[in-house]
């Protein structure tokens, strides 16, 4: 009989100690960080689920490739490895390296968008939205209704609402829509996948209106694995074949290699359009670097070249998706409200369901994230009213699982902490803002518990 336990498909060769703190320590540390977990020193966190971005463990093959890094300013051999690896999967004509995903976004939107334009997406990630708004364009989310209801189970909750896309294109006209984006998987909407059928439909509409389709491809391998498991006709295809098919429906992509690139830094921008590529490379030289390194070291390019292929290995993806679901299933069966079904890279607690006594304007997600830290030294992140202000349709707390970093016993500990907080949820209080930046305010916001005197920050 095949074993039912899905084990970590690796052995551990190098360990990094983590540090315990007491509850009294954490109360002091949290107050010093003004209730914003971004402002905590990482050494004071026991289990860090703030993000899966750049926090993964590299493989022996990646470390070996790092040493092969060619640090030549122009024409580096490592760029050839990087481009060839990307080419095998994505297949776009131009590959432009960037230091991370948002640099690719900034370049793409600076070149393609102008004031008053509209960019539809299933759900824009925070940096994507901010970069679109920064050039004066409007970022519009067109997620299917099922994707907006945390408890509704649907195999592809990241799908775009096809009718809404059609009607938006008719209403505003293709001249105002320089591109359509699809985020795979949909991070801000629960790490939920987009189906191949939806990708095909979105692509057909885009082609009909002669609007290019770009993927926000950060978690393309996880999305491909969900398609394999859930969509008829894909069971016998490899994740790589599925990824190749996805990208054939588009005209380019932005990518943060800190996710399914399995690297600690890096990203890229791809396009099939020669004119755009020229403009993008000019801008790249101005702010990121020469087009064969784009703000990265040669060794980073090597690590990404290997990582992209490893992210598509089936044993890895089986373990990855199963271990995220393990966390989700163990808390939801005790009644904890989460975005269902569990996503690829993270579990999202539904803070409005968890803390119904705290209204959105008192940041229930931030309050819940603070309590998880106080209870067990776990760091998570709010994706809700603090992050998106009035655009927030949900208040979620994301527990993102770094790739190949934590074992099942770490996750069992996380389950215990969440269930303890769930038991005592009635005592959790809301918060108020004491400082906010003009954009991406969640990174630097300062807050205080309601009903407690606080010093105003200037």
Ligand X SMILES: Cc1ncc(COP(=O)(O)O)c(C=O)c1O
Q: Which residues contact ligand X by CB under 6 A?
A: 53, 100-102, 125, 127-128, 183, 187, 216, 218, 256, 258, 267
Nearest distance in Å: CB 183, ligand X: 5
Nearest distance in Å: CB 437, ligand X: 17
Nearest distance in Å: CB 236, ligand X: 29
Three-class SS of residue 400? Answer: strand
User: CB-wise, 112 or 421, nearer to ligand X?
Assistant: 112
User: CB-wise, 78 or 128, nearer to ligand X?
Assistant: 128
Q: Are 441 and 385 in contact (CB under 8 A)?
A: no
Measure CA of the first residue to CA of the last residue in the chain; give whole Å. Answer: 64
- Give the position of tokens 């776990």: 378
- Nearest partner of 441 among 368, 377, 354, 363, judged by Cα: 363
Nearest distance in Å: CB 144, ligand X: 17
User: CB-wise, 133 or 329, nearer to ligand X?
Assistant: 133
Nearest distance in Å: CB 8, ligand X: 23
User: CB-wise, 59 or 256, nearer to ligand X?
Assistant: 256
d(CA 25, CA 27): 6
Nearest distance in Å: CB 125, ligand X: 4
Residue 24, CA distances (Å) to 30, 107, 373, 376 in order: 10, 46, 12, 12
User: CB-wise, 132 or 355, nearer to ligand X?
Assistant: 132
Nearest distance in Å: CB 102, ligand X: 3
What is the C-alpha radius of gyration for the chain, rounded to an integer number of angstroms?
21
Give the H or E element holding residue 350. Answer: strand 346-350
Nearest distance in Å: CB 182, ligand X: 11
User: CB-wise, 30 or 213, nearer to ligand X?
Assistant: 213
d(CA 262, CA 307): 5
Q: Are 204 and 138 in contact (CB under 8 A)?
A: no
User: CB-wise, 186 or 362, nearer to ligand X?
Assistant: 186
Q: State the SS3 of 89-131.
A: HCCCCEEEEECCHHHHHHHHHHHHCCCCCEEEECCCCHHHHHH
Give the H or E element holding residue 347. Answer: strand 346-350
Beta strands (DSSP E) in 217-320 are 252-256, 267-271
User: CB-wise, 78 or 223, nearer to ligand X?
Assistant: 223
User: CB-wise, 102 or 379, nearer to ligand X?
Assistant: 102
Residue nearest to ligand X (CB): 101
d(CA 406, CA 412): 10
The first and second tokens of residue 371, run together, are: 């309590």
Nearest distance in Å: CB 281, ligand X: 19
d(CA 306, CA 299): 11
């Amino acid at each position: 009989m095949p074993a039912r336990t899905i084990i970590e498909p690796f052995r551990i060769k190098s360990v990094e100690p983590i540090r315990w703190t007491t509850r009294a320590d954490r109360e002091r540390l949290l107050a010093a960080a003004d209730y914003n977990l971004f402002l905590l020193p990482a050494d004071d966190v026991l289990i860090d689920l703030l993000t899966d971005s750049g926090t993964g463990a590299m493989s022996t093959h990646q470390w070996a490739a790092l040493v092969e890094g060619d640090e030549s300013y122009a024409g580096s051999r490592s760029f050839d490895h990087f481009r060839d690896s990307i080419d095998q999967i994505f297949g776009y004509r131009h590959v432009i390296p960037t230091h991370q995903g948002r640099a690719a976004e900034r370049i793409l939107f600076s070149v393609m968008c102008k004031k008053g334009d509209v960019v539809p997406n299933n759900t824009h990630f925070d940096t994507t939205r901010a970069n679109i708004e920064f050039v004066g364009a409007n970022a519009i989310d067109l997620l299917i209704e099922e994707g907006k209801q945390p408890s509704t189970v649907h195999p592809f909750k990241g799908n775009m609402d096809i009718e809404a896309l059609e009607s938006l294109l008719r209403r505003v006209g293709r001249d105002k829509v320089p591109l359509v984006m699809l985020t795979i998987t949909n991070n801000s909407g629960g790490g939920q996948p987009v189906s191949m059928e939806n990708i095909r439909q979105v692509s057909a509409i885009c082609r009909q209106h002669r609007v290019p389709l770009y993927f926000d491809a950060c978690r393309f391998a996880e999305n491909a694995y969900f398609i394999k498991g859930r969509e008829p006709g894909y069971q016998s295809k490899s994740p790589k074949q599925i990824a190749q098919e996805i990208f054939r429906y588009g005209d380019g992509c932005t990518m943060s290699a800190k996710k399914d690139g399995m690297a600690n830094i890096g990203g890229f921008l791809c396009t099939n359009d020669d004119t755009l590529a020229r403009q993008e490379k000019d801008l790249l030289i101005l702010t990121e670097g020469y087009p064969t390194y784009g703000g990265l070291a040669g060794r980073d390019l090597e690590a990404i070249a290997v990582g992209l292929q490893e992210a598509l290995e089936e044993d890895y993806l089986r373990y990855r998706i199963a271990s995220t679901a393990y966390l989700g299933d163990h808390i939801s069966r005790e009644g904890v409200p989460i975005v269902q079904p569990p996503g690829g890279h993270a579990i999202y607690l539904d803070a409005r369901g968890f803390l119904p006594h705290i209204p959105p304007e008192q940041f229930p997600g931030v309050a819940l994230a603070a309590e998880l830290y106080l209870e067990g030294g776990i760091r998570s992140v709010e994706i809700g009213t603090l992050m998106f202000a009035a655009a927030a349709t949900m208040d979620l707390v994301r527990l993102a699982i770094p790739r190949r970093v934590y074992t099942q016993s770490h996750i069992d500990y996380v389950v215990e902490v969440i269930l303890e907080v769930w038991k005592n949820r009635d005592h959790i209080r809301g918060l108020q803002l004491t400082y906010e930046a003009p954009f991406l305010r969640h990174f630097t916001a300062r807050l205080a518990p309601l009903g407690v005197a606080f010093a105003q920050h200037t």
